[in-house]
Each structure stands twice: as C-alpha cells, then as structure tokens.
Structure 1
Amino acid sequence: MTMRAILSSLLLVLPFLAQPAAAQDAAAGERSFNKCRACHQVGESARNMVGPELNGLIGRHSGAVEGYSYSAANKNSGLTWDEATFTDYIKDPRAKIPGTKMIFAGIKNEKEIKDLIAFFKQFDKDGKKL
C-alpha cells in the first residue's frame, strides 16, 4: 500500500474517530418513558400510581416519595438514584433490589438508558422543567 493510499484511508476514518460519544437525548428519553407511563408519572401534575412519581429522581434516595407505599426491600435498600445506580436498576430491577414490587423486564440498551436519564434530569423535585 502506498503512502498516498494510507493517508487517503486515514482522512476517511479520522472524522469518525474524532466524533464525541453520542450525547444524551432527552427527546429520545421521553419516547422511552412511554414504557414507564403505565406505572409512573413525571411533571408538575405527576402523582403516585402503581409506582411512585419520578420527579427529581436523580439524586433522590430510594423509597423517599411521600405517600407511596414502597416495599421494605426498596425502602431499606439505602440506594441514592445517581446515573450509575439507575442504570444498573433499570436493566433488571429485581436483581438490583431483590424483593422490589416493581415488575418490569428492564431496559438493556445503554443509549436508551442514558436518554431516559436525560429526560428525568429535566424535572426538579416539584416536576418543574429546569
């Protein structure tokens, strides 16, 4: 292979290597949240349903939503919902918190989880968009 061919190949590949990792996409996360809507709400009018409302989720302690009847496993888990903890949990809720009442097959796709987190991060504890 000639030097010219090597340089040509590099010029084609370099722009792709220089691309940053895909950013979180809150709009895509909102679409993903459709999987959660049967049990959870978010936003200013959110209320507890089958599951607790999810306003201010990131940074909140597990089992902390007032008025929601959590399982003992969830209340006593000692978890704080940061991005890493939520990512592990949403992949397989019953593996992360054995004894949780949450019945959900999980979301395995890393990009989808990141987008869902970006969607949640838009809402403060009162459901107001930041």
Structure 2
Amino acid sequence: MATVLSAGAAHADGDPAAGKRVFARCQSCHQVGEKARNLVGPELNGVIGRTSGTVAGYAYSPALKDAAITWDHDTIAAFVAKPQAVAKGTQMPPVPPLKPDDVDNLIAYLATFAADGGAAQ
C-alpha cells in the first residue's frame, strides 16, 4: 500500500511530461520502459517504493546494496542532490544541480513506470 501512495504522491507533486525531459539527462546511465536494461546504472522501472540495491542483474556498490533505502520522493530527491551524502561509497557520480521543480517532475515521471516497465497503476 505504501508503494501505491508514494507513486500517487509523486504524480501529484510534479509533471510527468516535464519529468521526461529532465530524465533525458539521466539516459546515458539509466533506462525506463518495457525494454529498459541496466547500463552504467540500473534500470529505474518501479523505482518508487523499491529498496536500493535490488535490481536483478545489476552490480551495485556495497554502499547501495547495504543501505536498504526505500526509494520515495524524499530519498530520490536527496540522492539526486548529493549521492555520497545518502549512500557514502556509491558509484553514482554527482548530478548537475536540478531545480526543485525539475526534481519533482523527474520523480513524477519515474512514478509512471511499474516494475515491468509498463504503466504504473
């Protein structure tokens, strides 16, 4: 139930269409959608409500495997802002600063994807 509520809150706080444009900055390392695969970073289907370090087939740093972070709006926003502050030792490089609206929009976009890459309910 918390996953559904988190995904709904993410939609309410941002614009998924605008978030798709923000996600373009992430696509060199991450994918979403039905054909998403792991690249330099893990695919992000169903990330809202997922525990860090759990995408099958991705070689996570011990920092993210051991962190047991539940990804929601606040944890994603903090991680995008300062990955090392959230999970010291993560392989995620610092992200160029995003405006708060861009972060909200990005998270709203990610919330539109279910774990299988289809549309989230």
Matched residue, 1:31 = 21
Contact 2:63–2:88 (Cα < 8 Å) also in 1 = yes
Q: Kindly tell me: are residues 23 and 95 of structure 1, through their superposed partners in 2, closer, same or farther at Cα, counting changes over 3 Å?
A: closer
**Residue 82 of structure 1 aligns with which residue?**
72
Q: Determine the C-alpha separation between the residues in 1 that align with 2:38 and 2:14.
A: 27
TM-score (norm 2): 0.85
Percent identical across equivalent pairs? 47
Match of 1:4 in 2: none
Greater CA radius of gyration, 1 or 2?
A: 1
> RMSD over aligned Cα, in angstroms?
1.4
Q: 1:52, 1:68 within 8 Å by CA — same for their partners in 2?
A: yes
Q: Which runs of 5+ in 2 are unaligned?
A: 1-11
The aligned length equals 109
Structure 1: which 5+ residue stretches go unaligned? 1-21
When the two structures are superposed, what TM-score results if normalisation uses the length of structure 1? Answer: 0.80
Match of 1:99 in 2: 89
Tell me how far 1:92 sits from its aligned partner: 1.1
Larger RCO of the pair (alpha carbons < 8 Å, separation 6+): 2
Q: What is the rounded CA distance, in whole Å, between the counterparts of 1:30 and 1:68 in structure 2?
A: 23
